[in-house]
Structure 1
Amino acid sequence: MTKDTHILIGFGTIYAALLVAANAAGTKIIAVGSLAASATVFVYALTFLVTDIVSDVYGKKAADKLVIYGFVSVLLAVVIYQLAIVAPPAPFFQNQEAYESVFGVTWRLLLGGLVAYLISQFLDIRIFHYIREKTNTKHLWLRNVASTLISQFVDTVIFITVAFYGVFDDLFALILGQYLIKLVIALLDTPFAYLGISIAKRFSDGEYGHAK
C-alpha cells in the first residue's frame, strides 16, 4: 500500500466520522451567544476543510469520490440506527424512548441534510478548482475561504428550508445564525488547510498526481 493510499484512507476516515457524527447530532438546536444553530454546525463545517485539502493535493476526482463515500457512510449509519431501534429491547432495558429520540430519523432533517450535503460539497469542490486554475495554483487562502463561504451558504439555505420550514417561524434568523458561525469557522480553518496540504504533499509519493 502506497503512502498516498494511506493518506487518502486517513482523510476518508476523518471525513466519514465527521459526517456520521454530524448526522447523529443534527436534531438539536444550540445557542451560540445570541445566535441559534444546529448542534452539528462546527463538526459539519470541518468536512469542507477535508475536501479542500484532498482537492488541492489529489485533485477534483479524488475529492468527488470522498463526497460519494461520505454519502454512503451516512446512509449506512441511518440504516443501522433504524435496525437498532426496531430490534426488540431486552426486558431490563428502560431507555428505549430516549434511544429513539437520539437516533430516530426525522425524515425532513434527513432529506434536507442529504440534499444540501450533495449540492454544497460538489459545488465547493468545483469553485475551489475554478479559483485554483484562475490564480495559477496561488492564493490557497482565497480558494479555501471563497469556496467554503459560497457552498456553505447554499448548504445552509437548503438544509434549514427543507428541514425546518413550517416548524420555526423565523427561518431567516436560523439561516443567518448558522451561516455566521460557518463564516467564522471558514476564516479560522485556513491555517489548518495550509498545514494539512503541506503534510499531505510532504508524505505523498505522487501515485495519484496532484490536483488533476
Structure 2
Amino acid sequence: MTVPTVERLEASKLHKRSLRYFDFVMAAFVTVLLLSNVLGAGKVATINLPGIGDLPFGAGVLFFPLGYVIGDILTEVYGYARARRCIWAGTVALLFMAFMAWVVVALPPAADWGNQAAYEAVFGQVPRIVMASIIAFWAGELVNAAVLAKMKVWTSGKHLWMRTIGSTVAGQGVDSAIFYPLAFLGAAGWTTDLVIVVALTQWALKVGWEAALTPVTYFVVNRLKQREGIDVYDERTDFTPFEAKV
C-alpha cells in the first residue's frame, strides 16, 4: 500500500490548501468543551489514592483533558492560527450556552411542571463560575497552543510527546490557576486550602491524562497528517491571541 506523502508546510501557506478533516476536528473540540462545562465544571468529586487517601478534584477533569488532546492535535496538524480560531469559536459557544441557560432557567415554568428546582440545580450555574470557566479556558488553551507550536519549531518536529505534555503542563497550569480562585475563592464551603488543593489536583490529573493519552495523540496526529498530506510549522506566525483569522 502506498503511504501518502506528507509535505512540510509553513503555516502562512496553509490557506492555499484544501483541508479534509479540519471542520470535523473543530466540531469535536467545541462539543467536548460544551460537555465539560455542562457536566463537570462545578462538581467536586474524590479519588482514593493508596497511601494518600481521598483527594478532591473537579469532575470536569473527565472532559477537559480530551479538549486539550484535541487542541494539541489541532495545533500540531493545522498550526497555531487554526487552533486559535477554534479556541475563539469555543469561547463564543460557551458564552452563547451560558446566556441561553440563563434565559431558559429564568422562563416561568408551567403550573403543572414540577421540575424547575432540579432544572435550576443543573443549568442555573452561578455567573461567577461561568465567567471563570470561560476565561480560564480561553487563556489556558491559547497558552497550550502557543507553547506546542513554538516547541515544534524549536525541536524541528521531533519528540511529539515532549511537546504535548510540556504544553499541557503550561496550559493546564494557567487554566487551573485562573478557574478555581476566580470561581470559588471566598465562596461558601470553599476554604483557601481547599481551592489550592483542588486546583493542584486538577492540574496534576489533567497532565496525567494527557500523558496517558499520548499513544492516542500520536495515532490521530499521524493519521491526520497522512490524510491531509501536510506537516505545519509556525515559523513566522503572529502569536497574538486577540485575533481569529487564519
SS in structure 1 at match of 2:102: helix
| Residue in structure 2 matched with residue 31 of structure 1 by the alignment | 46
What displacement does 1:87 show?
A: 2.1
Instruction: Answer yes or no: is the 8 Å Cα contact 1:35–1:177 preserved in 2.
Output: yes
Residue of 232, 235, 243 corresponding to 1:210: 232
Which stretches of structure 1, 4 residues or more, deviate above 3 A after TM superposition? 3-6
Instruction: Answer yes or no: is the 8 Å Cα contact 1:55–1:211 preserved in 2.
Output: no
Residue of 67, 78, 81 corresponding to 2:87: 67
| Pair 1:166–1:102, CA change in 2 (3 A) | same
| Residue in structure 2 matched with residue 108 of structure 1 by the alignment | 128
Residue of 109, 133, 136 corresponding to 1:89: 109
Flag the structure with larger Rg. 2
What displacement does 1:66 show?
A: 0.7
Unpaired segments of 5 or more residues in structure 2?
1-16, 49-53, 235-246
| Residue in structure 2 matched with residue 150 of structure 1 by the alignment | 170
1:9 lines up with 2:31 in the alignment:
no
SS in structure 2 at match of 1:40: helix
Using the alignment, how far apart are the partners of 1:31 and 1:126 within structure 2? 32
| Residue in structure 1 matched with residue 213 of structure 2 by the alignment | 189
Which residue type is aligned with residue 71 of structure 2? T
1:52 lines up with 2:72 in the alignment:
yes
Instruction: Answer yes or no: is the 8 Å Cα contact 2:37–2:60 preserved in 1.
Output: yes
| Pair 1:163–1:157, CA change in 2 (3 A) | same
Using the alignment, how far apart are the partners of 2:173 and 2:47 within structure 1? 18
Indicate the percent of aligned positions where both proteins have the same amino acid: 25
What displacement does 1:4 show?
A: 5.4
SS in structure 1 at match of 2:56: strand
Instruction: Answer yes or no: is the 8 Å Cα contact 1:35–1:178 preserved in 2.
Output: no
The structure with more helix, counted as a fraction of residues: 1
1:18 lines up with 2:38 in the alignment:
no
Which residue type is aligned with residue 203 of structure 1? R
Using the alignment, how far apart are the partners of 2:124 and 2:93 within structure 1? 17
What displacement does 1:141 show?
A: 0.6
Instruction: Answer yes or no: is the 8 Å Cα contact 1:64–1:125 preserved in 2.
Output: yes
What displacement does 1:27 show?
A: 1.4
Using the alignment, how far apart are the partners of 2:155 and 2:200 within structure 1? 30
Unpaired segments of 5 or more residues in structure 1?
none
What displacement does 1:88 show?
A: 2.6
Q: CA RMSD in A?
A: 1.7
Using the alignment, how far apart are the partners of 1:7 and 1:31 within structure 2? 37
What displacement does 1:205 show?
A: 5.3
Instruction: Answer yes or no: is the 8 Å Cα contact 1:127–1:147 preserved in 2.
Output: yes
What displacement does 1:180 show?
A: 1.9
| Pair 1:4–1:73, CA change in 2 (3 A) | farther
The structure with more strand, counted as a fraction of residues: 2
Question: How many equivalent residue pairs?
Answer: 208
Which residue type is aligned with residue 144 of structure 2? D
Instruction: Answer yes or no: is the 8 Å Cα contact 1:157–1:175 preserved in 2.
Output: yes
**What is the CA deviation profile of residues 14-57 of structure 1, one whole-angstrom value per residue up to 9, with x for unaligned ones?**
11111111111211111122221111112012111111111111
SS in structure 2 at match of 1:30: strand
What displacement does 1:123 show?
A: 0.6
| Residue in structure 2 matched with residue 172 of structure 1 by the alignment | 196
**What is the CA deviation profile of residues 66-85 of structure 1, one whole-angstrom value per residue up to 9, with x for unaligned ones?**
10001111111112212211
What displacement does 1:146 show?
A: 0.3
